[in-house]
Chain A
Amino acid sequence: MLHCLPVFRQDACASGFLGLSSMPLIRLIDYSLTYPMFHGSARSLKKSLFKGVRNKVADRKSAGGSIVSNSDTTVVLALSQLTLSIESGERVGLIGHNGAGKSTLLRALAGIYESSLGVLHVEGDLHALLSPQAGMNTDLTGRENIRLYARYIGLSDSATVELEADVEAFAELGAFLDLPVRLYSSGMAIRLGFGLATAPRPEVLLMDEWFMAGDSHFQEKARERLTRLIEHVRILVITSHSLPILRQWCTRIIWMEGGRIRMDGPPDLVIDAYKAVNHG
């Protein structure tokens, strides 16, 4: 699939060559990720050239990861020395405050963010549900977006027809399916995005929390569709603020704080500890 980094595919080939069964797995060793945030004149080539390089580095602490500022460029240490191994069959929930690094970790696992610090190794066919509008063009109609998405995930023509029928039945958009997506209400757009994103059947599924949105009728349908998907996947990594959902679905919870793992263990243990800190 397109979502695989070439490096993953190579690893999969290598293990197949050695006669090992290629079970999907996720492995992080001392993995750190920093990203720059530019503000002020750091976005300007002219100003950056004139200013030259200043070495005024100031350390500051904040709610998120550690932050290092260099006048107009801020480097955020979003993930800090994570060591973690997720085997086939595990369903992992990520919890933590906003800015704790949950979404960044998902993006790193998906191969969208890359870092050369430490080791990140993902084996298996991976699919990430990170944004309801992923790859969607709001000027295209719903139907056109379905076809475009089919192209994105590399479906054949006959599979595209199936996808179209499947998503059409799920999203219940009626005549709106042939209107541009920008005319949709936010609920309709989510229904379409959800229907599309949950169509592939990957081995490793990464999921961000927006999947819990929507009206109650939709939520029931969505949960049914998700359950079918999750039964199929070998590894699930999900972020959510909804503790009951995590308790119900996950076999393991990782509590993140400031880009580090604060606690890692069975759902009841970690969620109770998390609740105790946040509500007690």
Chain B
Amino acid sequence: MSQSRYARAWDDLASGLRSWRLAATLGWTDVRLRYRGSVLGPFWLTLSALVMVVSMGVIYARLFHMNLREYLPFLSLSMALWQVGLSSLLLESCTCFIDAEASIHAMKLPFSLQALRLLVRNAIVFAHSIVVPIGVFVIYGVSPGLISLVSLPGLALWMIDGFASCLLLGALCARFRDIPPIMGAFLQIAFYVTPIIWKPSQLSPRQSALLMLNPFYDLLELVRAPIFGTLPSLPVVMISVGLSAFWCFIAFLFFARTRARLAFWV
């Protein structure tokens, strides 16, 4: 073969991006099929997020001695960001290639197409579940202001990380089938050690400095802080960007080395 595996992996990414229209169609189809036949369609997600946020909000506000007006906007936004943006994106990236087995075996398509499809799918789900925090913000009269636009680059970084996760975890899980449950257990722990249902300000200053070492915290702050009117701190930005660059680098190396064998693994 005339090209190195890195050049071929790069070509795969490029042709995957070129077929974004197909990826968008596939992503839409995934969401439509998941909710076909239900009256509310994807708004089931909105409803279940609503029920969860309200019930958790009432209980934890009491446990943490906070008033709902302060706590509920925080909780609803954190939950929406965590559940769709971080947790389900990571979990689904594990089965990114396994789920596409039939078409991988039948047609020559860029593997990165499947990663894009997953991003589209999750973006659509995200758009539905973000309705709940928006509603809560409106009810409690919290207006995020223009500074919240700063969270858009953060969301873009999440997309890039998610894409890299698909290439890395998708390939790894195609080879080793016991990783998704390990991932699920890992994310469960991450959910509790990351300030999602609790606030970083509830820790002492020294403890919250340690929080920086939790990459989920940094990524979350990158998007969440601007919406609550503060810019993310410099260490948060640096750690997020640095880790993402590292993550993408590892993902590309791994993808390049495994890409030719993926068709045999799935």
- A-side interface residues toward B, CB under 8 Å? 2-7, 10-11, 35-36, 38, 43-46, 48, 107, 110-116, 119-120, 126, 128, 130-131, 133-135, 137, 139-140, 144, 148, 151-152, 154
Report B-chain residues with C-beta under 8 Å of the C-beta of A152.
22, 107, 109
A112 to B260, Cβ gap below 8 A?
Answer: no
Specify which of A116, A126, A140 is in contact with B33 (CB 8 Å cutoff).
Answer: A140
The reply on B36 being an interface residue by CB < 8 A is: yes
B25 to A2, Cβ gap below 8 A?
Answer: no
Report B-chain residues with C-beta under 8 Å of the C-beta of A126.
108
Report B-chain residues with C-beta under 8 Å of the C-beta of A119.
1
Assembly CA distance A45 to B1 (angstroms):
31
Rounded to whole Å, the gap between the CB of A123 and the closest CB of chain B is: 13
- B-side interface residues toward A, CB under 8 Å? 1-3, 5, 8, 11-12, 14-15, 19, 21-22, 25-26, 29, 33, 36, 102-110, 175-179, 182, 259-261, 263-265
B3 to A45, Cβ gap below 8 A?
Answer: no
Rounded to whole Å, the gap between the CB of B77 and the closest CB of chain A is: 33
A140 to B29, Cβ gap below 8 A?
Answer: yes
Assembly CA distance A112 to B259 (angstroms):
11
- A sample of 9 more A-B contacts (CB under 8 A), given A11-B2, A38-B265, A114-B263, is A2-B107, A6-B11, A7-B3, A43-B178, A45-B178, A112-B108, A113-B264, A114-B1, A131-B105
Known contacts A46-B178, A148-B25: A130-B33 contact under CB 8 Å: no
A139 to B36, Cβ gap below 8 A?
Answer: yes
Known contacts A6-B8, A110-B108, A112-B263: A43-B176 contact under CB 8 Å: yes
B260 to A2, Cβ gap below 8 A?
Answer: no
Report A-chain residues with C-beta under 8 Å of the C-beta of B178.
43-46
Rounded to whole Å, the gap between the CB of B13 and the closest CB of chain A is: 10
Specify which of A5, A11, A151, A154 is in contact with B108 (CB 8 Å cutoff).
Answer: A5
Report B-chain residues with C-beta under 8 Å of the C-beta of A45.
176, 178-179, 182
Smallest CB gap from B176: residue in A: A45
Smallest CB gap from A47: residue in B: B178
Assembly CA distance A10 to B1 (angstroms):
12
Assembly CA distance A10 to B106 (angstroms):
23
Closest 4 CB pairs of A and B: A134-B106, A6-B11, A45-B176, A114-B260
Specify which of B2, B11, B259, B264 is in contact with A36 (CB 8 Å cutoff).
Answer: B264
A135 to B103, Cβ gap below 8 A?
Answer: yes
Assembly CA distance A152 to B25 (angstroms):
10
Specify which of A6, A38, A107, A135 is in contact with B15 (CB 8 Å cutoff).
Answer: A6
B1 to A120, Cβ gap below 8 A?
Answer: yes
A151 to B21, Cβ gap below 8 A?
Answer: yes
Report A-chain residues with C-beta under 8 Å of the C-beta of B264.
35-36, 113
B11 to A139, Cβ gap below 8 A?
Answer: no
Smallest CB gap from B178: residue in A: A44
Assembly CA distance A120 to B1 (angstroms):
7
Assembly CA distance A139 to B265 (angstroms):
25
Report A-chain residues with C-beta under 8 Å of the C-beta of B107.
2-3, 110, 112, 128, 130, 134-135, 152
Report B-chain residues with C-beta under 8 Å of the C-beta of A43.
176-178
Rounded to whole Å, the gap between the CB of B262 and the closest CB of chain A is: 9
B1 to A133, Cβ gap below 8 A?
Answer: no
Rounded to whole Å, the gap between the CB of B220 and the closest CB of chain A is: 28
Assembly CA distance A154 to B21 (angstroms):
9
Smallest CB gap from A139: residue in B: B33
Known contacts A45-B179, A113-B264, A120-B1: A2-B29 contact under CB 8 Å: no
B177 to A44, Cβ gap below 8 A?
Answer: yes
Report A-chain residues with C-beta under 8 Å of the C-beta of B2.
7, 10-11
A112 to B261, Cβ gap below 8 A?
Answer: no
